[in-house]
Amino acid sequence: MLVTQKMQKTYELVVFDWDGTLMDSAAHIVTSMQRALKELDLPVLPREKIRDIIGLGLREAIMRLLPDCDDDLLLMITDRYRHHFFTDDPCEPFAGAEQVLQHLHGAGYLLAVATGKGRQGLDRVLRSTGFSQYFVETRCADEAHSKPHPQMLLEIMDILGVDAKHTLMVGDTEYDLNMANAANTAAVGVDYGVHSRERLMACSPLACLSSITELPEWLVNETNTL
């Protein structure tokens, strides 16, 4: 009985953020937004200000950058941002990301994505990377409330029939970790993405990793503490 308990996984479901966690896309997001603003003769905001909103839904991100933006301008910025992001998408997964997904998938974990990307963007990049084979469920910001609202995470757990105590959220922003806190799930931060380690630790994750490749070993260590 003791051996069986030690082999039982602490978590059944691992939910990943996309941009900044699995995909090295922050620089491209910033450049695309700056180009959109420039085309519309709007102030070109500094890199760090735009980086700070990565992880939010696009509407919420634009409204945070430009609080006085009306609906017409919002649509124009959205259109130009998507044009630049999709016209030239040089983004690549972080080193080791696919190997981690392969390993966890093979080990029997349910894997999912909860992202600030829209459905069109996520489906496109899942096809181009071939990562769709690893995920049993995905949720996007145009299908639910933007992070840090817990709706995306709650819906994923409900559809897959996994409760919060067996769910782990992995993300690179405070929006990911606060979404997990609101959904009462565990969370692990990764500090190679958008938000700093100090900012992530303020959200009380179980750990903060410096490479996605550290996640499988961390999960094994969590399991062995049972």
Q: Which residues contact 3 (CB under 8 A, 6 or more apart)?
A: none
Residue 197: count other Cβ atoms within 10 Å of its Cβ: 14
Catalytic residue annotation: 17, 19
Phi-psi region of 130 (alpha: psi -120 to 50; beta: other; left: phi over 0): left
Three-state secondary-structure class, residue 210: coil
Q: Between vectors from CA 171 to CA 168 and to CA 174, what angle results, nearest 5°?
A: 110
d(C-alpha 22, C-alpha 32), whole Å: 19
